[in-house]
Amino acid sequence: MDNKRRNFIKKSTVVLCSTPLLGILNSCTQSTNQYYTICQNNCIGCGDCKDVCLDDAVLLPKKSSYDIDVSTCDICGDCEKVCEENAIKLSYHIYDIYEENCIGCGDCIDICVNEGNAITWERDYYFVRGRCKSTRCSKQCINACKYNAITIVNGKASINMEKCTRCGDCVSVCPYNAINPAKVILNQSLCTHCGECINVCEFDAITKTEPEDFHEPHIDNDLCSLCGDCQPVCPKNSITNVIHIASIDTKKCTSCGSCEEVCNYDAISKI
């Protein structure tokens, strides 16, 4: 066989054999590119995935945020109790008893039992002082008492506490200011500043003042983890939020998996 024919056969063999082999190699080395996606139902827009993405593939124009509507918030403190990040900043009003108006009805005590139990009796009964002059008045206290708890004994008004409801009607009508009502006290160290006492007082006998360093309630979103635990415990629905959902640019994503590792809400998965 001459050299020309030998070289032709050799070249033909290389071409015929190498062409399918290259196809096989290419099929083995081609990437079946997989990308990450974000479940909108689970994403809370915290931005943790965006912070760790070195390829800038996570799209989140703005992180989600929580806020407090100061027009409805009564600073009860329930949200602050459940916030593990100490992100909720509250400044509490100071509540106190205004004795001039207090008739000792006890409504504030009843409501405070469910809170800090800060309001208690100093004296839980009414009594008539020696200045009573039943012979000189029109027995206004007896007429005012709807429960027949007041009678005249030895020329002086006497109050039967088994019948008395501590309504205070007798106190205001006595012309000699001779009836001393029951008396309550408020322990500031036990007060939870919920404000329920002032809501039930019909006599404007509870004051509400602001300390010098008072500030409006707010949420520090640099500390907030966006867990949302504060919302369901707010009795006034005063906590609002704006949720932004992240997405992933698959053209930039290199499937490194960093975003999935830092997501605490199972919102990121590979497709």
* 17 pLDDT tier (thresholds 50, 70, 90): very low
| Mean pLDDT for the chain overall | 88
Tell me what pLDDT residue 25 has: 33
Tell me what pLDDT residue 24 has: 33
User: Per residue in 103-134, is it b (16+ CB within 10 Å) or e — as a string?
Assistant: bbbbbbbebbeebbebbeeeeeebebeeebeb
Q: Where does residue 155 fall: left (phi above 0), alpha (psi -120 to 50 degrees), or beta otherwise?
A: left
Per residue in 191-249, pLDDT (tens digit) is 988 889 999 999 999 999 999 999 999 999 999 999 999 999 999 999 999 999 999 99
Beta carbons of 49 and 226 less than 8 angstroms apart: no
Per residue in 91-114, pLDDT (tens digit) is 999 999 999 999 999 999 999 998
- Here the tokens at position 240 are 């609002």
Question: Domain 91-211 has what CATH class?
Answer: alpha beta
Per residue in 59-72, pLDDT (tens digit) is 999 999 999 999 99
Residue 258: pLDDT above 60?
A: yes
Q: Where are the domains of the chain?
A: 91-211
Pairing assessment for the beta strands 247-248 and 58-59 based on DSSP bridges: antiparallel
* 33 pLDDT tier (thresholds 50, 70, 90): low
